[in-house]
Amino acid sequence: MEKFNPFMNLDATKAFGDFRLPEMNVEGFLSSQRKNLETATVLSQLAFEGLQSATKCQAELAKSCVESYTKGAEAIAEAKSPEETATKQADLVESLFEETVTDLNELASLTRKSANAIFHVVEQRFTEGLDEFRTAVKPNGKAPAAKAPAAKTPAKAAK
């Protein structure tokens, strides 16, 4: 039994004769991709520098913490009475807690600065990329003019 193939007698030139692909600005596309790679390089560098500074900060904080524990343990060992030992232990715990909170705030601030720098670069490239896309899809190759904000209607202005 012979099967019917509906595409056997299809004339592709008739079906797709009017189909046109949009023209593409190859140089603009390549330029955009170069900028993306440059941005990726900058982001990698910023991330590495941020990680490097955070690691350095953590090492300094660890060293400081060990020194504080050592001094505190020595002070507790020098105590003459159980009451003095308990007081020195409480003082040590309080000072270590405050120092830890301060250190964590410093580390969080450092991380936040690094993340903000990275975000700024991404945001800037994203905006540039959108402008490049708008230019690429316009038939005359010019970016569309920015729209003016819509005027408030009397009903909206009264609110």
> Residue ranges of the domains in the chain?
25-137
Return d(Cα 50, Cα 110) in angstroms, integer. 8
Are 57 and 110 contacting, i.e. CB atoms less than 8 angstroms apart?
Answer: yes
pTM of the model: 0.63
Return d(Cα 50, Cα 109) in angstroms, integer. 11
At 89 the pLDDT is: 92
Percent of all residues in the chain with a pLDDT value above 70, rounded to a whole number: 84
pLDDT digits (tens, 9 = 90+) for 74-118: 988 998 999 999 999 999 999 999 999 999 999 999 999 999 999
Q: What is the mean pLDDT of the chain?
A: 83
